[in-house]
Amino acid sequence: MEPEVLLEVSNSRRTLIAVVEQDDRTAYFYIFPSELLNTKYSPRPCWLRNLQPAPEKRDIAAMKEGLAPMLEARFCNHPAGKPPLNAEKLQVVWTEEEDGAAVLYEGEILGVIPGWTLYSDEQNVAYAADCIGAGEKDQLMPLGPVGKNAMYGKIAAAKEFWEEWSSETSQAWGPLQERYLKSYEAAFGPLQKYYAIDGGQWPPMGLARFEKDDVVYFLTLGVGIRPMPWVELWYNDRAPNFRRMELAMAIKKSDFTEAEMMSMAGLISGVADRPWKLLTWLGEGHTILSQELPKPFESVIVTKGAGNSPAVEMPVVYGDPVNLYWMLPITQLERAYAHHMPDAGSLLINKLAENDIYYMATKRPELSFE
């Protein structure tokens, strides 16, 4: 029997597709990368249940035939098999980062593929409710009871998050938007202009313009609604301190034309959704190429401003601090320096600071690296 697709659900940016399949032997949950990303990331499987009596040993025969293997008897809680899954009782819940997901059956978790497994073959792990054990090199692990696995809390929080934002009567954005603008106006004075930069997609994102002391400021709001992919893998327990961000640019008004400043504002808009469109993340020291910058600049470096940036009291979002990252224009030579060795982005930030260049875009001479 050919596997039957019971459920297929993409994340909001269609970078990943969650699929539940079953044949007459077993049921599986998969996350597949989109065509755009299938050379960068691999599909990830999660066994859900056997529909026939479990084999005593690893199901090598099925794998040789290109079939999804059944789980051996000693590792599943139903060695005699379980009834087939009913498609109408299935639900997929994406994590808030949208790089991992859980499949629920009648409201209970059947399997989880964590987001961080996407980025490391060594940590390609999935959790199944009906799995009760695993071999030393197995990639399927028991989900275990509620309270024993952090995945329960993560999926419960994600379910609540999506329900809050998907409701037609959701009031989530209004109060959050107001908190952002209040913080920004406290630092930069009255709002001059506001641009929607979400392109009609969720989440709502805006770009606010302010002017103060011959400096034009552009700051995003709403980007931090979503935690960024990758961060959980890099920072583990410290991830809450790095996974949310807003972007900003400070531009010396007398150095650039209005057209040049608006072009730079367009760069911010384009970068705002980048972590979720490309399944990546942004942090201090990262660089981004752009053709929207006035010469001689050809990139920006992401920085917190080396302690010299304006004091902005950022709102707390879902219990996490939100990082305000300034996008500072740099030249091709400066960008090359930021990539000449691992973590050299922070070296460039320090060298810029030594030349009193912290966060503001100005017409300035290129740094020398002799």
Residues 90-118, mean pLDDT to the nearest whole number: 97
- Could you tell me the CA-to-CA distances from 3 to 27, 48, 88, 109, 280 in Å, in that order? 9, 14, 17, 22, 32
Q: Would you call 243 helix, strand, or coil by DSSP?
A: coil
Answer whether residue 295 shows pLDDT above 90: yes
Rounded CA-CA distance 355/315 in Å is: 31
**Tens digits of per-residue pLDDT, 133-144?**
998 778 999 999
Residues 73 and 213 in one domain: no
Task: Identify whether 28 is part of a domain.
Answer: yes
Residue 207 has what pLDDT?
99
Residue 367 domain-assigned? Answer: no
261 and 138 in one domain? Answer: no
Residues 186 and 294 in one domain: yes
Same domain? 107 vs 252:
no
User: 306 falls in which pLDDT band (50, 70, 90)?
Assistant: confident
Indicate whether 288 belongs to any domain.
yes
**370 — pLDDT class (breaks 50, 70, 90):** confident
- Whether the per-residue pLDDT at 124 is higher than 90: the answer is no
348 and 201, same structural domain?
Answer: yes
Domain of residue 161 covers 4-166
Any domain includes 255: yes
Same domain, residue pair 177 and 162: no
Last residue of a domain, one of 119, 140, 166: 166
Same domain, 81 and 155: yes
Cα 105 from chain centroid (whole Å): 26
pLDDT value at residue 1: 78
Confidence band of 280 (pLDDT split at 50, 70, 90): very high
* Higher pLDDT pick, 209 / 370: 209
Asked whether residue 214 is domain-assigned, the answer is yes
93 exposed, middle or buried (CB, 10 Å; 0-12, 13-18, 19+)?
A: buried
In a domain, 370, yes or no: no
Q: What is the pTM of this model?
A: 0.93
Q: Count how many residues are written for the chain.
A: 370
Boundary-marking domain end, from 151, 166, 181: 166
Asked if residue 332 and residue 203 are part of one domain, the reply reads: yes
Per-residue pLDDT at 30: 98
Judged by average pLDDT, the poorest of 16-20, 162-166, 305-309, 344-348 is 305-309
How far apart are alpha carbons 304 and 20 in whole angstroms? 43
Do 297 and 235 belong to one domain?
Answer: yes
Confidence of residue 61 (pLDDT cuts 50, 70, 90): confident
Q: Could you read off the pLDDT of 24-60 as tens digits, one per residue? A: 999 999 999 999 999 999 999 999 999 999 999 988 8
**pLDDT classification of 165: cutoffs 50, 70, 90:** very high
**DSSP states along 273-313:** THHHHTT----TT-EEE-SSSPTTEEEEEEE--TT-S----
pLDDT > 90: what percent of the chain?
Answer: 89
Residue 132 and residue 236 share a domain: no
Average pLDDT of the residues in 83-110: 98
Does residue 345 sit within a domain?
Answer: yes
Q: Output the pLDDT for position 120.
A: 82
DSSP, collapsed to helix, strand or coil, labels residue 44 as strand
pLDDT score recorded for residue 350 = 95
Closest CA to 261 of 325, 187, 193: 193
> What is the total count of domains within the chain?
2
Looking at residues 278-292, what average pLDDT do you find?
A: 96
Point out the least confidently predicted range of 73-82, 238-247, 301-310.
Answer: 301-310
First to last CA, the chain: 68
**Do the Cβ atoms of 325 and 246 come closer than 8 Å?**
yes
Residues 142 and 240 reside in one and the same domain: no
Q: Answer whether residue 234 shows pLDDT above 80.
A: yes
* Strand boundaries in 121-184, DSSP class E: 126-128, 140-142
Please compute, for residue 54, the number of CA atoms within 13 A of its CA located in the half-sphere on the CB side: 22
In a domain, 355, yes or no: yes
Lowest mean pLDDT among 188-197, 232-241, 306-315: 306-315
Q: Pull the structure tokens for residue 342.
A: 């691992």
Residue 121 reports pLDDT greater than 90? no
How many Å apart are CA 327 and CA 329, to the nearest integer?
7
The pLDDT assigned to 14 comes to: 97
pLDDT at 170: 84
Examine the domain organization and report whether 275 and 134 are in the same domain. Answer: no
Q: pLDDT band at residue 168, thresholds of 50, 70 and 90?
A: confident
Please identify, among 166, 184, 210, the residue that sits at the C-terminal boundary of a domain: 166
123 pLDDT higher than 90 = no
Residue with the bigger pLDDT between 2 and 110: it is 110
**Both tokens of residue 269?**
């808009």
Q: Name the average pLDDT for the chain.
A: 95
